[in-house]
Structure 1
C-alpha cells in the first residue's frame, strides 16, 4: 500500500501491520488527467495534527482558497480541532496535496439522552457512542457534535464538541430495512429521504424524536465529495470494515463508496484500517494498514506515516 511515499516496506520497518493487494490497480483505469493535473484526492479520516493538516496519514497544505464547513454551514480554519472527523478534497500530487475543501463530517449531532454507568458510552439520536475515556463535564440533555467513525450500528468517538445548532444531524451510508430508510443506524423520514440511493452517503438535518426513534428531515445532502478539487482519481480513507452483501463482501462503514469487487479483505474484517488507492466510481484500494484503537495511539502512528509522505 502507499500513503503517498509510504509503502509496505516502510510499514514493516515501523512495526506496523500492513498488507498489499497485488495487481489491484490494474483492475480499473484511473481517471485521466484533469485540467493538466492528476485528478483530485478524497480523504476521509481524523485530524491528528496541525502544521497544515494531517488527516488519515496525509500531509495536506491549506491556502487562502481552502473552504471550511460542517453540516450547518461555513467554518473558519481556526474552528478545527484535533479529533475532528474530516472529509477533505485536495488537489496536487500525493506528496504535495493542497486542500480545496475541508468539511467536518460529524456522524451525529444531537442531545445526550443516556450516559452509561461507566461513563464511557452515551446515546445520541438513539445511537450508542463509545468514548476512549470517561465522559467529563457533560450530562443527559447536553447537545453535542460527535466526531468519530461508524463501526456497525454504533459510533467510535474521537471528540465531543458543543453543538452549534438546535437542529439534529446524522451522516453516514444509506440502507433500506423493512421499508425504512436508515442513515448510519438512524431511521430517517421526510422530504428527500426516500430518494437517496442505497449504499450512498447522506447527511440529514432535522429533529430527532426520542419516542419514535426517528429523525424527521428538513434537509438532505446526498454527497460526500462536491468536486471542489475536480473529479476524484484517488481515495485515502480511515474507517472500520463492516460486512456487505455485495462483492467483495465488505464496505468502509459510513463512507458511501464501494470497493473494487476483486479485493480480498477477510483479514481486515472488523478492523480499523487506513486504505489508499485509485478511484473511478469504485475504490481500488492498493492495501491496508491496521490502526490501533485509542486516539493517542492512532495519532502517534499516523504522524509517523505522514512523515513518510513529505
Structure 2
C-alpha cells in the first residue's frame, strides 16, 4: 500500500502563508538598509529608511551639504524654479541658500526622484558678537562653538552675525555657518527656561514680555535689547519637524538616558535595535509615528561621538566624510554656497568636498501632535507664526 504524500489544501495554505510572511519580513528588513533608487544610473543610494522610499512624503531636517539639487542628510532633493524658500520667515530665492544652513522640508518621490516645493531655513541666533575666544563665542547670551571648518577670521566683538547650527544637550550651538548681517531686529531660537533669579531666558539671554506658558518649549523670539534683557516683540513656537508627514529623516545631537535617547530640544526616542550608544552623539535618524502613537526608529547613523559629557569641545572631532556630490555645476538659479560668510565653505561647482563640513545641523522640538510633542500653534513664518524678519 502506498501513502499519499501530497499536502492537503489546509497544509498547502499554511505553507503559503508562512512563505508570504517570511518574504514580508525580509522586505521590511531590507528597508532598514540603504538601497538603490536608480536615479539616472548614478549609483546614488537613498538614506531613507522606510520600505517605500518616502512615498507620501518624508519630513527632512538637517544641514545643507551640497547643491545641484539640495543635499541634506545624504538625500538628493530637486526643486522647481517656483520653489517657495524662506530664510527666517522672509521670502528668498534659491541663490540665498548656503552650505551650512539648516533646512526643513517635505520630500516626495515623483518619477524616480525626490522633490520638494517648499524649503524653510531658520538661523539659531541673529545679533552682535558679545564675546569671542578662540573657537568659542557668544551671541545674545548663547554659547557657540565654531564647528569644523567654520572660519573665525573677521569675527570680532560687536559685529552682527546670523548663526546657523545645531544645539547640544547643554544648549551650546555648534555653528555650521556664521554670516555677517547688518544691525537690525534680533532673533534667538531655543528652549525657554527659568533662570535662578526667576526670569525667563533662552540659553543665557534673559527675556522680557514672554508668558509663563512658554517655559519648556522651543520658541523663536525677536525683539530688541533693553538693558540686559531681550524685549520680545514677536514670539512663536518653532515647528521643528515639517507638518504633514508621519515619517522623518532628521539630524540632531542626542543624549542617552537608559532606554531612551533625548534630543537637545527634549524629544524622547526609544533606544531600540541599532540605536544604542552612551553619552552624547550627533546622528541622522530615520523614524516615524507608529499607529499606536509611539515613535518607531527605522535607521540610526552616528556621525560624531562626544563621550559622556555634553559640550566636550576638546574631544570633538569631525569623523564624517561626506561622500555625496552633485556631479556638476549648480545652475545660477540654485544655491551655490558662495557669498559672504564664515561658515562651511562651498565649492565653485556646488559639490561638497571631504573636510568641508564641521558639526552642524538644526533641531528643535516636534511641531506635530504625538507623544512628547510640543511646539505651539503655527509653523514659523506660517499662519499663527511669526512675521518675517525685516530686510536688513
- Normalised to the residue count of structure 2, the TM-score between the two structures is 0.58
Alignment of 1:106-121 (within 5 A): 106-116=123-133, 118=134, 120-121=135-136
Contact 1:241 1:268 in 2 (8 A): no
Give the match for residue 222 of structure 1: 237
- Name the counterpart of 1:29: none
For residues 298 and 76 of structure 1, do their structure 2 counterparts lie closer, same or farther at Cα, with a shift above 3 Å needed? farther
Listed as ranges, the matches of 1:28-43 within 5 Å are 38-43=55-60
Match of 1:138, SS state, is coil
Contact 2:286 2:297 in 1 (8 A): yes
Residue in 1 aligned with 2:351? none
Are the equivalent residues in 2 in contact too, given 1:109–1:143 (CA < 8 A)? Answer: yes
Q: Secondary structure at the match of 1:78?
A: helix
Distance verdict in 2 for CA 1:268–1:124, change over 3 Å: same
> What is the TM-score with the length of structure 1 in the denominator?
0.71
Q: Which stretches in structure 2 are left out of the alignment for 5+ residues?
A: 1-27, 37-48, 305-315, 327-392
> Which deviates more, 38-47 or 135-144?
38-47
Distance 1:42 1:269, change over 3 A: farther
Q: 1:186 to 1:282 in 2, by over 3 A?
A: farther
1:147 matches 2:173: no
Moved more, 144-153 or 163-172: 163-172
**In 2, Cα distance between the equivalents of 1:68 and 1:124?**
26
Q: Which of 253, 257, 265 does residue 264 from structure 2 map onto?
A: 253
Larger of the two Rg values belongs to structure: 2
Gapped runs of 5+ residues in structure 1?
11-19, 26-36, 305-310
Residue 166 of structure 1 corresponds to: 184
Asked if structure 1 preserves the Cα contact closer than 8 Å seen for 2:103 and 2:120, the reply is: yes
1:33-77 CA deviation, whole Å, 9 max, x = no partner? xxxx94432211110000110012221111144211122511111
Question: CA RMSD, aligned part only?
Answer: 3.8
Write the mapping of 1:1-310 to structure 2, written as runs, cut at 5 A: 7=33, 38-92=55-109, 96-116=113-133, 118=134, 120-131=135-146, 132-133=148-149, 134-151=151-168, 152-163=170-181, 166-176=184-194, 179-184=198-203, 186-191=205-210, 193-196=211-214, 198=216, 200-208=217-225, 212=228, 214-224=229-239, 231-242=244-255, 248-254=259-265, 257-260=267-270, 267=277, 269-279=279-289, 283-292=295-304, 298=320, 300-301=322-323
Deviation at 1:157, TM superposition (A): 0.8
Alignment CA distance shift 1:223-1:153 (3 Å): closer
Query: Distance between the aligned counterparts of 1:206 and 1:232, measured in 2?
Result: 32
Contact 2:256 2:277 in 1 (8 A): no
8 Å Cα contact 1:107/1:146 also seen in 2: yes
**How has the CA–CA distance of structure 1 residues 243 and 70 changed in structure 2, closer, same or farther, with 3 Å as cutoff?**
farther
Question: Following superposition, which runs of at least 4 residues in structure 1 exceed 6 angstroms of deviation?
Answer: 261-264
